[in-house]
Amino acid sequence: MKLAVCIFICSVLAPLAKTSAQIDKGDWTLGLATTLNPSGNNSVLGFGYSYDTDLETETFQYNLAPRVGYVIKNNLTIGLDLILTHSKSDRNKNTFIGAGPFARYYFKGGLLRPYLEAQASYGNLAIEADSAFFGEQDFDVRYLLMGGAAGLAFPIKDIVHIDLAAAYSYQSGAFVEDDIETNSHNIGLKLGVTLFLDQTVSTQN
């Protein structure tokens, strides 16, 4: 589904694209993307809805991952990710809030620019569950997330990139009040948008 959405976006925006110059040292970047996260919420473009016909339950979810970065040398960006995800069904509610560093390196390209990325985040997953057997229960899980991605950036007028990447993440969680740990390995697609602000624009603002 995410791949289909990205292909559609790229086909619509292709007439606007031009060959991208290198990513210059001193530029600032702002971004927004989907993310692989421990709440189980990997919705397309940050928002989603699902309905379970067997249990007759519906789930609303959103997934926001804003980021800010700085180009420390040509084509190499480092910065900070913020992660906010939330999913809510008739009986359960999961909310994850986290933050952490990332680094991205762009390779030379024309219409498409390949890149590699590494990131790590730490945060808290708050779980509110209500079951017929156990009743109402609340849990807090501290999560460490580490991962990487290989992707393609589709430049639009040089200052905006549409990003599509194949991503991997390792997630390690520990329940705050119980001696329980959980570990998982995840793969998936990440879709995002990156805005580049050069030094002139940043100084003027």
**What's the pLDDT tens digit per position in 169-193?**
898 988 887 778 888 888 888 888 9
Select the more confidently predicted residue: 23 or 162.
162
Domain 2-18+26-204 has CATH 1.10.1740.10: no
| pLDDT-above-90 percentage for the chain | 30
Question: Taking the model in full, what pTM does it have?
Answer: 0.74
- Strand 160-175 and strand 28-33: pairing? unpaired
∠ CA 42-191-202 to the nearest 5 degrees? 120
Select the more confidently predicted residue: 95 or 77.
77
Would you say residue 101 has pLDDT above 90? yes
Q: How confident is the model at residue 64 (pLDDT cuts 50, 70, 90)?
A: confident
| Nearest-angstrom CA–CA distance, 124 and 108 | 38
pLDDT at 9: 47
∠ CA 45-87-135 to the nearest 5 degrees? 170
Min mean pLDDT across 45-49, 84-88, 101-105, 172-176 is at 45-49
| Nearest-angstrom CA–CA distance, 28 and 199 | 8
| Nearest-angstrom CA–CA distance, 143 and 187 | 17
pLDDT at 19: 44
Average pLDDT over residues 120-125: 92
| Nearest-angstrom CA–CA distance, 205 and 199 | 10
